[in-house]
Amino acid sequence: EGLPTTGVPLCFHGICGKDEREGNSPSWFNRDEVLQVVDHVKDLMRPRNGVLTKLTPADIGIIAPYNKQVQKFKRQLALESRDHPGIDQIKVGSTEMFQGQEKKVIIISTVRSSDEHVTFDVRHNLGFLENPKRFNVAITRAQSLLIVVGNPNVLAIDTRHWGALLRLCIEHGAYRGVQVRPEAMSHIEQDGGVTESLADDMEALLLDEPSLRVQQESMEMPIFE
């Protein structure tokens, strides 16, 4: 319930938020994405037809690429816990913090909403764009449902990864939110399409099969708690 296409455990929710930072901090945050992700969490955990959901806070994980965004999430979840007890126990962290772990539901906040600083991110290994390892780890944490919240017109720049995922979601009727600009669509349509590894990962999700990568990853990338 609440998914763009019933039976497809995948959702790309496109929003045009604003990426911000405090002072000279290199860490970015996006308030609009924080609120949208928390709305998704509350919807997932609300009773349906008077029956409590089987999901617990331990079943949900929120991934964000910047420490400042992680902090904003924790603060918002703490505020929401007054009306939604336990919601502040949901794990929030960077991709590295979820290394070697899975959750039934993963919600990814991509943060970036303007292409002005994308080159800086790529040069300094920040964020998700043009970072295959970080992308692959993030999208394979989900056992049953993956939700991505972000600006499709910025993410489409990364045609091999986020653009390919966006295209896959559109093709499966799993996209909702702001309209994808024609130039962004042309980016992902002109590319070769969905990579074999991405197709395999999404097929595993559609079949509700946990990723086998989790058993092997701890040697490939350190976990920063």
Is residue 225 a part of any domain in this protein? no
Question: What average pLDDT does the segment 75-98 reach?
Answer: 96
pLDDT digits (tens, 9 = 90+) for 30-72: 999 999 999 999 999 888 776 667 789 999 999 998 999 999 9
User: Contact at 8 Å (CB) between 39 and 69?
Assistant: no
Is residue 152 a part of any domain in this protein? yes
Is the pTM higher than 0.85? The answer reads: no
Whole-number pLDDT of residue 61: 98
List, in order, residues 6 or more apart from 109 with CB less than 8 Å away: 30, 33, 34, 37, 62, 63, 64, 69, 73, 149, 150
Question: What average pLDDT does the segment 157-184 reach?
Answer: 89
Whole-number pLDDT of residue 225: 25
Quote the CA–CA distance of 101 and 95 in Å, as a whole number.
Answer: 10
Quote the CA–CA distance of 94 and 80 in Å, as a whole number.
Answer: 21
pLDDT digits (tens, 9 = 90+) for 140-167: 999 999 999 999 999 888 888 888 899 8
Parent domain of 174: 10-210
Q: What residues does 167 pair with on adjacent strands? A: none
Is residue 4 a part of any domain in this protein? no
List, in order, residues 6 or more apart from 130 with CB less than 8 Å away: 121, 122, 158, 161
Whole-number pLDDT of residue 224: 25
Structural domain count, the chain? 1
Quote the CA–CA distance of 63 and 99 in Å, as a whole number.
Answer: 11
Is residue 202 a part of any domain in this protein? yes
Whole-number pLDDT of residue 172: 86
69 vs 7, residue with greater confidence:
69
Is residue 5 a part of any domain in this protein? no
User: Contact at 8 Å (CB) between 111 and 149?
Assistant: no
CATH of the domain at 98: 3.40.50.300
Half-sphere exposure at residue 100, Cβ-oriented, CA atoms within 13 angstroms = 12
Q: Which of these ranges, 2-11, 187-196, 208-217, has the smallest mean pLDDT? A: 208-217
